[in-house]
């Protein structure tokens, strides 16, 4: 790094195989809108979910064009809904265990796993590090950095609940992908953005994704 050059410190965004790829897209768009850099890890299982939910194939060799198409799509599936620049995104293959985020010396702000499947939760809680997503999460915990786990499965059995408690004990923020309705949602994108906004709240990243509670009943039902 040249003298006076600012060191890049991205947020790692890990996308696992649970349903909920619109949540990941909303988080990625908001991070980029906030001027944040992103290191993206898309698991093998999540690529199947992305294909099923959007029709988009996410390919390592064509990740930039595939990512642009994904992030431009609204939660209702409509293409071209958002205009997104991805210059600040760096993609790492999920199978690349020699990637930057696999080491604690690689400078990052923290990691957001969105959505997080129960398999991903178990792998991180047990320290399995079977792919780069799990390894990066383990590194995030051992380095004492912010880790937000947006679990998106239901119902949750006792084993998964114990894994989530283990993650909480290790310092992670467990954040169920649970939309709220007090913000006055009128579209599926509003519900997705609420969850994405809560993830960013937990990470300490500023955004304007949803209407915040201000202590006044009925505010969410008003038309403007």
Q: What is the mean pLDDT of each run of 10 residues along the chain (224 residues)?
A: 76 98 98 98 98 97 98 97 98 98 98 98 97 98 98 97 98 97 94 98 97 81 55
- Omega within 30 of 0 (cis) for the link into 192: no
pTM, full prediction: 0.94
Residue 150: per-residue pLDDT: 98
Residue 149: per-residue pLDDT: 98
Q: Residue 213: how many CB atoms within 10 A of its CB?
A: 11
H helices of 73-157, in order, are 118-126, 132-142
SS3 146: strand
SS3 28: helix
Residue 223: per-residue pLDDT: 47
Q: Residue 211: how many CB atoms within 10 A of its CB?
A: 16
Q: What is the C-alpha to C-alpha distance for residues 69 and 57, in angstroms, rounded to an integer?
A: 10
Q: At what angle do helices 132-142 and 118-126 cross, to 10 degrees?
A: 50
Question: Is 174 in contact with 168 (CB distance < 8 Å)?
Answer: yes
Q: Look at residues 9, 30, 40 and name the one whose alpha carbon lies nearest to residue 196.
A: 30
Q: What is the C-alpha to C-alpha distance for residues 104 and 76, in angstroms, rounded to an integer?
A: 38
Residue 30: per-residue pLDDT: 98
Residue 163: per-residue pLDDT: 98
Q: Look at residues 153, 85, 63, 76 and name the one whose alpha carbon lies nearest to residue 113.
A: 153
Q: Is residue 2 classed exposed, middle or buried when 0-12, 13-18 and 19+ CB atoms within 10 A define those classes? A: exposed
Q: Look at residues 50, 48, 47, 86 and name the one whose alpha carbon lies nearest to residue 68.
A: 86
């Amino acid at each position: 790094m040249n003298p006076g050059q600012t060191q890049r410190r991205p947020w790692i965004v890990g996308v696992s195989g649970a349903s909920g790829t619109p949540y990941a897209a909303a988080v990625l768009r908001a991070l980029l809108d906030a001027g944040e850099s992103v290191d993206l890890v898309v698991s093998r299982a999540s690529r199947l979910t992305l294909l099923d939910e959007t029709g988009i194939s996410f390919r390592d060799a064509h990740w930039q064009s595939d990512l642009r198409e994904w992030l431009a799509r609204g939660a209702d599936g409509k293409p071209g809904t958002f205009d997104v620049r991805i210059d600040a995104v760096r993609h790492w293959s999920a199978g690349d265990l020699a990637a930057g985020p696999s080491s604690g010396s690689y400078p990052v702000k923290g990691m957001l796993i969105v959505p997080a499947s129960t398999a991903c939760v178990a792998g991180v809680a047990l320290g399995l590090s079977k792919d780069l997503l799990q390894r990066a999460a383990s590194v995030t915990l051992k380095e004492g950095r912010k880790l937000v786990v947006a679990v998106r499965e239901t119902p949750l059995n006792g084993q998964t609940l114990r894994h989530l408690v283990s993650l909480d004990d290790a310092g992670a923020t467990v954040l169920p992908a649970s939309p709220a309705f007090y913000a006055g949602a009128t579209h599926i994108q509003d519900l997705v953005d609420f969850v994405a906004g809560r993830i960013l709240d937990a990470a300490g990243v500023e955004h304007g994704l949803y209407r915040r509670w201000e202590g006044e009943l009925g505010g969410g039902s008003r038309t403007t």
